[in-house]
Structure 1
């Protein structure tokens, strides 16, 4: 018996649950087979992501599953995306704990890590117990959760998978919510971090009318490291995503349009998926009620992140900055426009010098770009960033049109309270500059990041 809030089960003997688990938690060709999702071979892209994500989250512990080694434990699938082929490998399952683990419908059941993310027990005898109803619901979490592959760049420990659980108290709506993501392809199930994954779920549920009011909508995100099982290190991060208005979400929705996961060729046919990093910064800022560009300077301190953002994501940043709905009129906009104007003029000056002296325009641009980027990045107080930015503006030659009417709005950004915003915006301006000519575009695409860390 089922209603919107609960499911009631009646049974005659405990073998009922043995049969229930066998039918609910299957395997087909080494892949998880959950009848609620249909045949995994018919939705292969979702199935492959689901496979590795479950094994990297709830079933991270090697004691929770066995491999099918009859034809080797690794299978390979080729997935056509646009004009290329994405080759993915997955580990073939023989069995997993959900199929056979003990369950008592009349007494408490010990809480295990595979039932609840992060529920690690140091002493099996001291494991917490859940009542039968909760223990049964947790067993089906593996089906109800929404999974993303996380592809964050940079140094340090990075989560590899995110498990998202929407906070929906209507079972029919929850089933609709989960079914939406079964139809997602691999590209749609990539994210740069857990905050992006969580907001992606809420935005999609709003678009599909599963969630009506984003102010009250929420989900919980669990991010897991992709490391060999360690009882000391299984969970990277757990946090709530929610309480965000539609107005606050405008920058993130815009980011979803301009930063796309793209297939990139390795050779004539094979591809890999390139995942934008900026949406994670925007998502975290949206959740913290801060400007979407807040912390950009620290975000691009890491060389790997910086190279990706400045090279592959500059087009998306340019569109974010151009859009007055997400980057409105005010001192911040005037500041960035002034930097764009100054950089355009500076490029013109360097082009003239290159032609006059017969030297490489590319080398001049490389040196000037790096000089500016390092000067902005290394500014540690208001006076330092003020000196770096005003020197940049003054080298452009003559007064900047952008500052003629808006200079008073810019001045507060150089105060002791706001200088870090000025640093963020100066680097954002460099990253979001839109070339004025084909020649500019070509030389800017060849800029070499010569600095290792900062």
Structure 2
């Protein structure tokens, strides 16, 4: 008789092992015990398995019961995936754990798939190669002796233990039977996301309470296509935690954090497409998740159509930058000075809405620069209008708006030290006297000279200018400029500001 105990408290386990144990507990919850050739017990922190006879027969029966391929998709019944989720799950697993051709077989000819992703938009069309077979649905002869017993040391490919750096000189990584069985069920616990530039994100949760996690995991839905496309690794982690419904009941779900493995090509190995590039740890933080959930609403996906009439999904540039700040315990706007240098700014409306999450001191500085810039710009419009002898055309208004922003940005981005920036900012506010700063000069000065706040102030000042629009935030006025439609539409090619 064979007895295996897979414990979350085992000091020899890594995060993928513990997530695999959770996946095993989830798998067992969907199997009628009376029909199984093995018995099990699941507690809050361990799974105990026992069976008579061949180890190989017991393990292969279990994996074949859990993993099945239907209509070209890897479709574990316990996950209850709909058509879109079967696609995202299969695509995610084959791009990460089963990335190597030796671990799965795909149909040679791709077929078109069409998904409805929004009731008001045309269907998305993508190409997909059916999955014919894979590691999890095959046999595991390398793990067993000729008599069907577990080997003492079982060779494991690096794909099945994410982050493992294999040393080919010393041979494959070797696992114990307990570690091997744990990793077989890792795919059931993970989240999968497609990143830009052909990269993938594999999200592995840290589960602390098996029974609670299984109960709530069985209620959660799969990943629809529109959620499968993420802008970055940090965004993938936050999206995974929200999808697992941790915001309202994070302790009950039993997830304290998750780790995101960003996978992509490395310069030194072009043969494998999904080697580990970076690892991020994303903690379960209700406030952070709430901010990100709001940001998802402020920066929705956009639908685009090709010349051939095909619809595709364009993701936000700002959202992954905000997510990376949030998981690093930085203010959501941190690094705007650098971000705007690399990205054209077409999401001003969303950024303006994000200002509701500024602290009182941050909002004071943002609003002060906003008001001062409004007066500065009004003066620029008046001077140009007087020069032209009357009202400006729409094109002339756009030109003045762009030049006004460029001048103000240049003035505030040149300083490279705290003293230089503080002087430039104070001079700007004194010259244009924003109403928001009336009587608050000492508070602004004190905050600006505290720690590294001057860098935050620089980001906020540039953000206030770059997102400027009449009534950028509630209660913020703007003088009548005589040209009502100088602002480009949210998605137009508009004018871009000069940050260099």
The normalised TM-score by structure 1 is: 0.82
Looking at structure 2, the residues matched to 298 and 11 of structure 1 have their Cα atoms a distance apart, in angstroms, of 62
Looking at structure 2, the residues matched to 351 and 217 of structure 1 have their Cα atoms a distance apart, in angstroms, of 54
SS of residue in 1 equivalent to 2:105 = strand
Partner of residue 427, structure 1: 462
Partner of residue 380, structure 1: 416
Partner of residue 130, structure 1: 175
Partner of residue 24, structure 1: 66
Unaligned runs of 5+ in 2: 1-39, 472-479
Distance 1:176 1:160, change over 3 A: farther
Match of 1:185 among 224, 228, 232: 224
Partner of residue 252, structure 1: 292
Partner of residue 409, structure 1: 443
Is 1:348 paired with 2:378?
Answer: yes
Distance 1:213 1:334, change over 3 A: farther
Distance 1:347 1:217, change over 3 A: same
Looking at structure 1, the residues matched to 457 and 287 of structure 2 have their Cα atoms a distance apart, in angstroms, of 24
Range 341-350 or range 246-255, more displaced: 246-255
Partner of residue 316, structure 1: 350
Partner of residue 142, structure 1: 187
Distance 1:191 1:93, change over 3 A: same
Partner of residue 235, structure 1: 276
User: In the TM superposition, what is the alpha-carbon distance from 1:375 to its structure 2 partner?
Assistant: 4.3
Partner of residue 236, structure 2: 197
User: In the TM superposition, what is the alpha-carbon distance from 1:77 to its structure 2 partner?
Assistant: 0.8
SS of residue in 2 equivalent to 1:2 = strand
Looking at structure 2, the residues matched to 215 and 394 of structure 1 have their Cα atoms a distance apart, in angstroms, of 53
Q: What is the CA RMSD across the aligned residues, in angstroms?
A: 3.3
Counting only pairs closer than 5 Å after superposition, residues 40-439 of structure 1 correspond to structure 2 as 43-69=82-108, 72=109, 74-80=110-116, 81=118, 82-100=120-138, 101-102=140-141, 103-104=143-144, 106-107=150-151, 108-123=153-168, 126-151=171-196, 160-176=199-215, 178-179=217-218, 182-207=221-246, 211-212=250-251, 217-225=256-264, 230=271, 234-242=275-283, 244=285, 246-247=286-287, 249-266=289-306, 270-302=310-342, 306-307=343-344, 310-312=345-347, 314-321=348-355, 323=356, 326-330=357-361, 332-358=362-388, 360-386=396-422, 388-390=424-426, 392-393=428-429, 396=432, 399-412=433-446, 414-415=448-449, 417-436=452-471, 438-439=484-485
Alpha-carbon deviations, 1:302-348, whole Å to 9, x = none? 1xxx21xx212x22221121x2xx21322x21111012112323343
Aligned residues: 428
Distance 1:115 1:417, change over 3 A: closer
Looking at structure 1, the residues matched to 448 and 208 of structure 2 have their Cα atoms a distance apart, in angstroms, of 48
Looking at structure 2, the residues matched to 211 and 7 of structure 1 have their Cα atoms a distance apart, in angstroms, of 26
Looking at structure 1, the residues matched to 364 and 159 of structure 2 have their Cα atoms a distance apart, in angstroms, of 52
Partner of residue 154, structure 1: none
Is 1:449 paired with 2:496?
Answer: yes
| Counterpart contact for 1:255–1:320, Cα < 8 Å | yes
Looking at structure 2, the residues matched to 119 and 98 of structure 1 have their Cα atoms a distance apart, in angstroms, of 19
| Counterpart contact for 1:190–1:261, Cα < 8 Å | no
| Counterpart contact for 2:265–2:273, Cα < 8 Å | no
The normalised TM-score by structure 2 is: 0.75
| Counterpart contact for 2:208–2:256, Cα < 8 Å | no
User: In the TM superposition, what is the alpha-carbon distance from 1:135 to its structure 2 partner?
Assistant: 0.5
| Counterpart contact for 1:190–1:275, Cα < 8 Å | yes
User: In the TM superposition, what is the alpha-carbon distance from 1:208 to its structure 2 partner?
Assistant: 7.3
Range 90-99 or range 201-210, more displaced: 201-210
| Counterpart contact for 1:317–1:431, Cα < 8 Å | no
Unaligned runs of 5+ in 1: 152-157
Distance 1:175 1:424, change over 3 A: same
| Counterpart contact for 1:159–1:223, Cα < 8 Å | no
User: In the TM superposition, what is the alpha-carbon distance from 1:292 to its structure 2 partner?
Assistant: 2.3
Looking at structure 2, the residues matched to 215 and 393 of structure 1 have their Cα atoms a distance apart, in angstroms, of 50
